[in-house]
Structure 1
Amino acid sequence: MVKLMKVKVVTHPTGEQIPIILDYDGLPIPAPNEYLLSRRDKSTNTLTRNARELCILYDWLHREQINLREKLTAPVSFNSAQINSVLVEQLRQNKEQSKAVSPITFNQRLTTVRQFISWYMSVLISQLPYSSNKFKSLSERKSIFNEWLSNSFMSSPPSRKYLKKGLNNEESSFLINILDPTSINSFGTSKAVKYRNFISVGLMIYCGLRPGELLSLRVEDITIGAISSVNVVRRKPDIGDTRKPRPQVKRNGRLLEIGNLDLVKCLNKYIVELREILEDKSELESDYLVLSDEGQPLSQASITQLFHLLRNKYNQDLPDNLSAKSLRHTFSSRMEITMRASGLSEQKRREALAHLRGDSSLSSQDVYIAQAVEESAIKALRQYQTNLVKDNN
């Protein structure tokens, strides 16, 4: 039986979930795990991806029978060919499908490996006296390795993929209609599930919630009344939440008004009547808003599966990129267009989008502003060409 290197997510007593890398004997590998712990401010998903990327490095080291610490500090260390021709090529390969990975995936792997080696060499250097010759030689070696790896990044041709990320008006309307729980032919297996699906997608497309934010909502975070709202709250890790990865609110919390009456009515009916039907299917009670068919807090995998089923069943009317991310992009781009039409300045729109999306960076809103500008330009071009033909007639 072939032994495999594994990544295991460990739940700490504080409620934090942090992945660890296990070697072929099932034992933790100290250096990369210490590196992951040093980045524990990152999300569990990000750290898990980093761990899998470092597994590629350690798989290569194992096959070549290289002890990383000894090799980094040896008088004769890695040469350019070992880094650029061997290690980098390992990072390019998709072992499961026997083909090269995309430039984005490769660059992510390369970034993680480069940052880890730089971190590890900094740790080794810090253990040496500043005045020693080895301190200086290792510092120089660190800079050389960093340069070699940095030079291997792949450039992707410029594109305007952001125009394809969201749903257009027809696709958005179709999605809402086929999930409408009051419709006889709506998608879903039972009344409670239909309402659950509708409010889940509704909160993402109408309020711009991320999957982690949606799945972190408690019943108490929803207010139904004259002014209905959803409160996105950053909380301490819930030790009792056994979902892996555990959903979390990674960005800024915010209070968002829910102005869509259909969504408000469905939320009220789900919370008052139907959520209890789902909860009764589980032995454990839960405060989370969105529950699975079995009555447990819904997982991120279930959200992904929902969009997969919708894409397959309605492939003629829904886009191939239908996902939680595309709904969030739809929300952001439509909000930008709405605010532009209301006369808000570009800076005010950027600030408003950052608030609504829970972002700290204003620059991350530029893609939606750029999209709205281009869509307006295309619309103006079509109108100009139509008027030009009329004038010529």
Structure 2
Amino acid sequence: MTLLAIKHIQFRHGERHKLLVSAQTGIPLYYPSLFITTHVRAGGFSVSTVQGALAAIKVLYAWQASQGINLEALFSTGRLLQREEITSLVAFSARLLREERRQRTTKVHTLKLNAGRTVARNTCNVGAQTQFTRISTISKYLGFLAETLRDGRVSSASERQVSAMVERLNACRPKVSNISAVDRDERGLDLDVVDQVLEYLWPDHPQNPFSSKGVQQRNYLIITLLRYLGIRRGELLNLRVEDVDFSKGVIKIVRRADSPLDSRRHQPLVKTAQRNIPINDILQKKLSDYILHCRASFRQAKKHPYLFVAHKAGPTQGNPLSNSSFGKFMATIQGIANGFEIIHAHAFRHTWNYAFSKIVDEAGAMTPEQEQKVRAYLMGWSETSHTVNTYNKRHIKEKAAKALLEYQRALKNKKD
């Protein structure tokens, strides 16, 4: 069995790309590379989408190795996957690959037998959403592979056969509900928890887990920006010094995919629209202090424009703060106190929307239509995006509960 790996590539002009290669030789696989180039990369999809597509194709090649078949040779003869092979592939697509298993803790489920005995069964399966995505990509790739290898020599009936194979695969995808056990609006943080996080991260606070004064100042500023601006992780890590316009009192959110100035292997990306977000004098002062007194002390930081940098001594000191370092920072926060386990960067975005709704309601200065437009702009969404409702659901539920209680009280008073 040929071991495969996903190789990350960065071109001179900054564009990031990925290829499925032989782990032994480093040579890219021809047809997966062709598919990614013509069907994924050419569509303008992000490098993370390319990563996901290649991960699914990697599962497909692992399955064919386990079955002892060669899909390219098989399709070249005009034979496609049979029903039993599709069933086997679908079942295989739910598994974690061997290298994935090493990175994930195995879940143990207890099974009760009729005799009253219990046995433990280890499961190494992915979630329904992951399997759904895998099968969707695999079906597209198999359709592409079959069409490519037909080379115009097979009758038009084969087109229907290829379509039928793809449809059978897609029909076997697991059902994925849009309604999760925990509503997305509940992923926001209580405002008291947010205030407590900021209190513990205040420089020189006795429970601050970071010892360096510069790191303390940087981390407090990061959480402050997440709390007060509601920006995404990628938007935060993509910020440059030049994006802070002190003369106008705004922070600019700018899309810079494949920037040649970004040395990070996995470039943080801005997924939303470009916009200017106002910042008050306090935020401007904190940003100015960090730029002039912390960031400027690192020689490497003078070679790039990115705002937040690594402080840890070593070869990466002064480089742009990476996604992995940011993740370790958030993990450290989760261990500061009880109740902090749910803290993650995106939760601050939900919290911002909840707090914004309450402030708008209390001020009473906007119509619902105006509020939606303002929120959409500040969050980087289109004015017609339904994402506004998703992030505002927590506040809507509270307003609905309040209205219902008032209605019930009114009915009770009439009866009395």
Q: Tell me whether the two structures share a fold, i.e. TM-score over 0.5.
A: yes
Query: Please, which of 193, 198, 208 is the counterpart of residue 230 of structure 2?
Result: 208
Gaps of 5+ in 2: 107-122, 312-316
The answer on whether the counterparts of 1:340 and 1:349 sit within 8 Å (CA) in structure 2 is no
Instruction: Give the superposition deviation at 1:50.
Output: 2.0
Q: Does 1:367 align with 2:390?
A: yes
What does 1:200-349 correspond to in 2, within 5 Å? 200-224=222-246, 227-235=248-256, 237-259=258-280, 261-277=281-297, 279-280=298-299, 282=300, 285-293=303-311, 294-314=317-337, 316-318=338-340, 320-341=341-362, 342=364, 344-349=366-371
SS of residue matched to 1:238: coil
Question: Which range moves more in the overlay, 183-192 or 296-305?
Answer: 183-192
For 2:213, the equivalent position in structure 1 comes to: 191
Change (3 A) 1:62 1:312: same
Instruction: Give the superposition deviation at 1:43.
Output: 1.9
For 2:6, the equivalent position in structure 1 comes to: 7
Letter in structure 1 aligned against 2:241: V
For 1:18, the equivalent position in structure 2 comes to: 17
Query: Please, which of 46, 51, 59 is the counterpart of residue 49 of structure 2?
Result: 46
The answer on whether the counterparts of 2:353 and 2:391 sit within 8 Å (CA) in structure 1 is yes
Structure 1 length normalisation: TM-score?
Answer: 0.86
Instruction: Give the superposition deviation at 1:68.
Output: 2.3
For 2:109, the equivalent position in structure 1 comes to: none
The answer on whether the counterparts of 2:187 and 2:347 sit within 8 Å (CA) in structure 1 is yes
Change (3 A) 1:251 1:123: farther
Q: Does 1:151 align with 2:150?
A: no
The answer on whether the counterparts of 2:80 and 2:162 sit within 8 Å (CA) in structure 1 is no
The answer on whether the counterparts of 1:91 and 1:106 sit within 8 Å (CA) in structure 2 is yes
SS of residue matched to 2:271: coil
Q: Does 1:136 align with 2:136?
A: no
Question: Which range moves more in the overlay, 378-387 or 329-338?
Answer: 378-387
SS of residue matched to 2:145: helix
The answer on whether the counterparts of 1:60 and 1:87 sit within 8 Å (CA) in structure 2 is yes
Distance 1:138 1:99 in 2: 37
Change (3 A) 1:36 1:163: same
Change (3 A) 1:171 1:118: farther
The answer on whether the counterparts of 1:166 and 1:327 sit within 8 Å (CA) in structure 2 is yes
- Structure 1 residues 117-153: Cα deviation after superposition (integer angstroms, max 9, x where no partner): 234345456x42xxx7x25223212221222122122
Query: Please, which of 62, 67, 78 is the counterpart of residue 65 of structure 2?
Result: 62
Distance 1:296 1:240 in 2: 11
Change (3 A) 1:381 1:180: farther
SS of residue matched to 1:288: coil
Change (3 A) 1:151 1:284: same
Aligned pair count reads 380
Q: Does 1:118 align with 2:143?
A: yes
The answer on whether the counterparts of 1:336 and 1:368 sit within 8 Å (CA) in structure 2 is no
SS of residue matched to 1:100: coil
- Structure 1 residues 3-36: Cα deviation after superposition (integer angstroms, max 9, x where no partner): 6311111011221110110125332111222222
Letter in structure 2 aligned against 1:334: A
The answer on whether the counterparts of 2:209 and 2:332 sit within 8 Å (CA) in structure 1 is no
Gaps of 5+ in 1: none
Distance 1:198 1:295 in 2: 18
Distance 1:13 1:384 in 2: 65
- Structure 1 residues 157-192: Cα deviation after superposition (integer angstroms, max 9, x where no partner): 533521321111111111222222364543422121
Structure 2 length normalisation: TM-score?
Answer: 0.82
Question: Which range moves more in the overlay, 305-314 or 148-157?
Answer: 148-157
Change (3 A) 1:375 1:71: farther
Identity over the aligned pairs, expressed in percent?
24
Question: Which range moves more in the overlay, 151-160 or 40-49?
Answer: 151-160
